[in-house]
Amino acid sequence: MAAVPKQTSMAIKSYKNQAQMLVKNYLLADPFAPYTSILGGILAFKVVYDLADLINNFYIKTYPSLTKIQRVDWNNRGISITHAISVSALSLYFIFWSDLFSDPYLMGLMVFRSSQLSTFGLGVFSAFGFVHKITTLEKTVGFQSGIYILNGDWCY
């Protein structure tokens, strides 16, 4: 095994220290907001899913004739729409009305800026999107899932 030059070793240690500082000061600075927002996102997912089911049963005449898998997919469309509108609204707020990104010279690099609302939104929408992906069983790059139905058919 070849010896690593001292300058390379020092650079690696420097990057490691910077990464540790980033995690300590930004990600774990206030653990209350991320954890409660993730639980809030899961709860919001359930509420929107049940609300979509209720609205679909009331307004769509052919909804009761759909199979269970088709109903799950149809209800997840309501979740997807709610997720997209909510993320867009929060993003527009941060861009146009919040002071979070207003002065580039006072707060350092823009990627390190955050607020309680942005951290809370990240947790809610991350959990919301993650649970949505699980329930819809979407095939994405590197993530394929399926449910083996009792009669031997795969449902994707």
Q: How confident is the model at residue 41 (pLDDT cuts 50, 70, 90)?
A: confident
CB 131 within 8 A of CB 42: yes
User: Is this model's pTM higher than 0.75 or not?
Assistant: no
Tens-place pLDDT, residues 55-84: 999 998 999 998 888 888 888 888 888 888
- What is the C-alpha separation between 64 and 70, in angstroms, rounded? 10
> Residue 67 is inside which H or E element, if any?
none
Q: Are 53 and 77 in contact (CB under 8 A)?
A: no
Give the rounded percent of residues in the chain with a pLDDT score beyond 70: 70
Report strand pairing: 154-155 vs 147-148. antiparallel
Give domain limits for the chain.
33-98, 118-155
